[in-house]
Amino acid sequence: MHVSFFQSIKFISRFLTEIISISNYLVATYALIMFLFAIGGQRPPISPPQTGGPEIQVYIAEPTYQSVPVGSSASFRCQARANNDSPLRITWSKDRGGSIPQGRARDDGQGLLVIAETQPQDSGTYICTATDGYATSSERATLDVTSGGIAPPPPIGSSRPVAQITPRYTTVRLNEPVELRCVATGYPTPIVTWSRPTGAIPSHILVNGEVLRITAIRRADEGEYICRATNERGTATERAVVYVEGGKNLDILFAGVHAISFIILIGVLKIADTRPPVVPPQFGLVVTINPTTYESRPGETVRFQCDSSDRSARIQWSRVSGILPQSASESPDGTLTIYNVREVDAGGYACTATSQSGESSQAVTRLAVSYIR
């Protein structure tokens, strides 16, 4: 009974040691994952651009609103400049899918638009667009062709529109809402329209007059938004920039989590492969090995001593996975000697004791081979 109790305590102790070792490994990995999640939701705030404005600045010379009688001519001149002074291509087009009058209009490609013998259908908004092949910017002018012989003057007390966007720069987390508001003043009351440098506002973005709202922002929504306020006296343009945070970091985070999961798997497999299995106690016959683990440098000679509670029992050594090294030697007293140890000799070695009655018991030791001890 004393032998059984001692062997049970030894088995429980070894089992707990294995559990604690694996637990420490997993706890450390879990802490690393939590740290990555903690930093994944944070990144330094993005400062507004220091360029002082858009990459391409477009300006239409006054008057940006012209009212002319039928049969007369009208002209608009547009100028554009890139912040990096790159060459620009300037073109004119008509808003809402309209076309510049064929045969009566001339766009010189340098910003000058001339419309001769104007007709009522020529009325509308004309867009001057400048591009360097990468960035695009535009401004608008309005033409009103009247049927009378004299163009009516602007309304008394009229004023050019003024537009202001709030906020001008904002940072929003992925999938969260954002709202931009463009407040326009002037007389007559300006009409507010929204656009992006690349064209129209996407359909998932809600526009209601001066308010632009995104209910769940996407990575593709990051960038510049343009508000234009237009009345009979001209057009005012303001821009806002929206930054989206979280998407890229989450990609990195999930990649890190997958990598850590792979590390955990490799670690568990390594533990399962290199640590000797815990052998349940064989009551009545106790086998002990000294030392229970040993770390050796390549080229050394290693000895393990195996003892049994039954001195008459037969002792036999084996390798947990594979066969004993060719340089290994067994002695009648239960000693296993491995000469000129190599790295491939690392692993578990089992000592099995078999009594005359046929009862057997086993113990396992572990050999580690490393150049650093």
What is the spatial order of strands in the sheet that 159-166 belongs to?
Answer: 159-166, 178-187, 211-214, 206-208
Domain count, the chain: 4
Domain that holds residue 259: 1-43+252-275
State the average pLDDT for the chain.
Answer: 79
pLDDT of residue 48: 45
pLDDT of residue 44: 43
User: pLDDT digits over 12-25, tens only?
Assistant: 556 556 655 665 65
Q: What's the whole-number mean pLDDT along residues 219-224?
A: 92
Residue 200 lies in a domain: yes
Place of tokens 């429980």: 12
Of 104, 131, 153, which closes a domain? 153
Is residue 62 domain-shared with residue 100, that is, in the same domain? yes
User: pLDDT digits over 69-118, tens only?
Assistant: 988 888 888 888 887 778 888 999 988 777 888 889 988 888 889 998 89
pLDDT at 173 over 60: yes
Residue 267's alpha-carbon distances to 20, 26, 270, 367, in angstroms, are: 14, 9, 5, 18
pLDDT at 212 over 90: yes
Number of neighbouring beta carbons within 10 Å of residue 263 = 13
Of 107, 129, 153, which closes a domain? 153
Number of neighbouring beta carbons within 10 Å of residue 305 = 15
User: pLDDT digits over 261-316, tens only?
Assistant: 656 656 655 555 555 555 444 456 889 999 988 888 888 899 999 999 888 889 99
Q: What CA–CA distance (Å, rounded) separates 62 from 155?
A: 17
Residues ≥6 apart with Cβ < 8 Å to 337 = 301, 302, 303, 328, 329, 330, 331
Instruction: Answer for the pair 373, 295: CB distance below 8 angstroms, yes or no.
Output: yes
Is residue 64 domain-shared with residue 121, that is, in the same domain? yes
pLDDT of residue 56: 81
Residues ≥6 apart with Cβ < 8 Å to 88 = 56, 80, 81, 82, 130, 131, 132
DSSP string, 76-87: EEEEEEETT---
Of 114, 136, 153, which closes a domain? 153
Is residue 89 domain-shared with residue 172, that is, in the same domain? no
Both structure tokens of 274: 């290199």
pLDDT at 31 over 80: no
Does the pTM surpass 0.85? The reply is no
pLDDT of residue 21: 61
Is residue 39 domain-shared with residue 66, that is, in the same domain? no
Is residue 26 domain-shared with residue 73, that is, in the same domain? no
For the ranges 36-45, 100-109, 189-198, which has the lowest average pLDDT? 36-45
The one-letter amino acid code at 269 reads L
pLDDT of residue 338: 93
Residue 340 lies in a domain: yes
Q: CA torsion angle for 114, 117, 119, 125 (degrees, to 10)?
A: 10
pLDDT of residue 146: 84
